[in-house]
Structure 1
Amino acid sequence: MDPRNQLGPRTGPTVEPSGGPVPPVVDQPDGSPPGPSAAGQAASAWEAWLATPPGQYVMRWERERLGEAVVDMFGYFAVQLGFLELDALAANRMPHRIRVSLRRDRLPEDGRRPDLIVGSFGELPLDSQSVDLVVLPHQLEFCEDPHQVLREADRVLRPEGRLVITGLNPISLWGLRESATFRPFAPFLPPTGQFISMPRLRDWMKLLSFEIDSGHYGCYVPPCRTQKWLDRMRFMERAGDRWWPICGAVYMVSAVKRVRGMRLVGPAWKLRRATKPAPAVAVSGRSVNGRTYSRESAVVLPFRRRP
């Protein structure tokens, strides 16, 4: 069977290409449409924050890093979940690049339409082991159940499939500013469901048999609201990447889905003991099988060990 035919929504409608008709809307498994939630309000605030100078600063860094990460990932199907303002699959060369959005999300202003609209990223209408690449840009921070989203990404990925995740780093100047108990100033970042550190995310992914092959931190500039101060603090990029690399405001993690194979073990009586020749050197003055060997005519005799 052609692997291209194995991917498709369970509910019937096919995936339309970008720029085509309005994509299908997939409701919850029980048939009820998803209602507003705290995660949805946080995502709306995040979309508004992306239009600010620090938001554009983060998008430029992630666009560059994601392009480097996905450009050499090959297969048939690549899926991006949410954050359509950033085209994470632009540099990827897979023939089918599917952008999935939530029903509550606002469409990008550039007119780019999602290929599929769902009610929750924890219930994707995709077949199991049918996708070669899944990109989760800042989705674990806004979803109500990040563990379920990771499990769903693991379900739809093929063995040796790739998973790329971006998020905000709580161990950074930006994260510490937001987590301070006493804040006489206005919040700098939009409200999020939770900050997930990279070590914590690594533990979650290891439980799902993901093997992390690369990780990057970035955006070391202090939390500045104006483009003028962001440009003045640009020198901290190189210094932070060298002296405090784990304190970047954002991070990106790339992992591979590993599936262990089976090893058939037969009865012990069917196993034969391997025989290995034991080299023996004939030295001068020794007689072997009635022949005398001198030091100059030493030879190696392939004696076989007794079973």
Structure 2
Amino acid sequence: MKPALQDLLLDLPTSWNDIPQGGFVKKQVERHLNQWWPTVFGYHLLKVGSLSGEIDSAACPIKHQVNVATQGERQGVLADIHHLPFKENSVDAVLLSQTLDYTHDPHQILREAHRVLVANGYLFITGFNPVSLAGLFKILPGKKHSALKQARFFSTHRIGDWLNLLGCEVVNDQRFIYGALGHQPRHFHNRWLPAITHQYLQRFGAVYLLVARKRELPLTPIKPKWKVKPNLAPVGNVRIRSGIEAKKTT
């Protein structure tokens, strides 16, 4: 397993058009996100990365939606996405669409997303699935500098472990698009193929959608109302190592 942190900075795609079949992938991502947007409520939705900023989230009831990216002309905020310029616990939902695939430090991206999220806030992550035809296409000889070749293809299991360490709970894991993306067969868009692949080969979808929520445990434990009756009572003056003297009984 390759380390998540890389010294080499990736050449980030600034648009879905920079990715093979990018327009088609974007529409499928939007279609699956539209199933979740109605469940999200709050005041602020943060889209991290250029690709996230292009996702149509009009179906989300949150009115204030902000795009933040390192580069791009249409971004609401230009900033280092590894160090978000927002306060802790200030955002109700965060979208990372293919953001982890095009970063040298995915851990830091997730840490920042977790930091700015409110308790029980939603984190939506989409990316390329290594266990798919698209993942196979990545390791085959070809254009090394294409956007699909440079994508990092982290598994959902690995990302789930990172989220668990941060205190996030994965509540849904979906896969979709059953093709190589970089070399799409003509019959891929036939009506019968998506139905068959969804039924029998669901885990091999080229793109995944992870839905997670930030969970926080109470800092102060709640004391139970009931008390346990001691089985043994101290006799006489008894000293213990802590220096506390037990009450004398008569």
How would you bin the TM-score normalised by the shorter chain? 0.7 to 0.9
Contact 2:52-2:97 at 8 Å conserved across structures: no
Distance 1:160 1:242 in 2: 32
Instruction: Give the equivalent residue in structure 2 for 1:271.
Output: 227
Instruction: Give the equivalent residue in structure 2 for 1:80.
Output: 47
Distance change in 2, residues 1:247/1:147 (3 Å): same
| Residue 18 (structure 2) pairs with residue 49 (structure 1) | yes
Instruction: Give the equivalent residue in structure 2 for 1:97.
Output: 65
Q: Give how far 1:49 is off.
A: 2.9
Q: Give how far 1:246 is off.
A: 0.7
**Deviation by residue 1:77-114 (Cα, 9 ceiling, x = unmatched):** 111112156324221111311111213xx33xxxxx32
Aligned match of 1:218 in 176, 194, 198?
176
Report the AA paired with residue 18 of structure 2: W
Note the 1:220-299 alignment, pairs <5 A: 220-223=178-181, 225=183, 228-232=186-190, 234-261=191-218, 262-265=220-223, 271=227
Contact 2:92-2:122 at 8 Å conserved across structures: yes
Instruction: Give the equivalent residue in structure 2 for 1:200.
Output: 158
Distance 2:179 2:228 in 1: 65
- Name whichever of 79-88 and 91-100 sits farther off: 79-88
Report the AA paired with residue 96 of structure 1: H
Distance 1:48 1:56 in 2: 6
Report the AA paired with residue 67 of structure 2: R
Note the 1:103-182 alignment, pairs <5 A: 103=71, 106-107=72-73, 113-118=74-79, 120-180=80-140
Distance change in 2, residues 1:220/1:189 (3 Å): farther
Distance change in 2, residues 1:92/1:179 (3 Å): same
**Deviation by residue 1:236-274 (Cα, 9 ceiling, x = unmatched):** 2111111111100000000111000131448x9x9376x
SS in 1 for 2:125: strand
Q: Which runs of 5+ in 2 are unaligned?
A: 1-7, 230-250
**Deviation by residue 1:48-102 (Cα, 9 ceiling, x = unmatched):** 434x5x2222111101011212222001111111215632422111131111121
Distance 1:56 1:47 in 2: 6
Aligned match of 1:190 in 148, 153, 157?
148
SS in 2 for 1:196: coil
Q: Which runs of 5+ in 1 are unaligned?
A: 1-36, 108-112, 274-307
Distance 1:242 1:55 in 2: 24
Aligned residues: 219
Larger radius of gyration: 1
| Residue 51 (structure 2) pairs with residue 70 (structure 1) | no
Distance change in 2, residues 1:230/1:136 (3 Å): same
Aligned match of 2:28 in 61, 65, 70?
61
After TM superposition, the score normalised by the length of structure 1 is: 0.64
Q: Give how far 1:206 is off.
A: 0.6
SS in 1 for 2:35: helix
After TM superposition, the score normalised by the length of structure 2 is: 0.78
Distance 2:108 2:58 in 1: 27
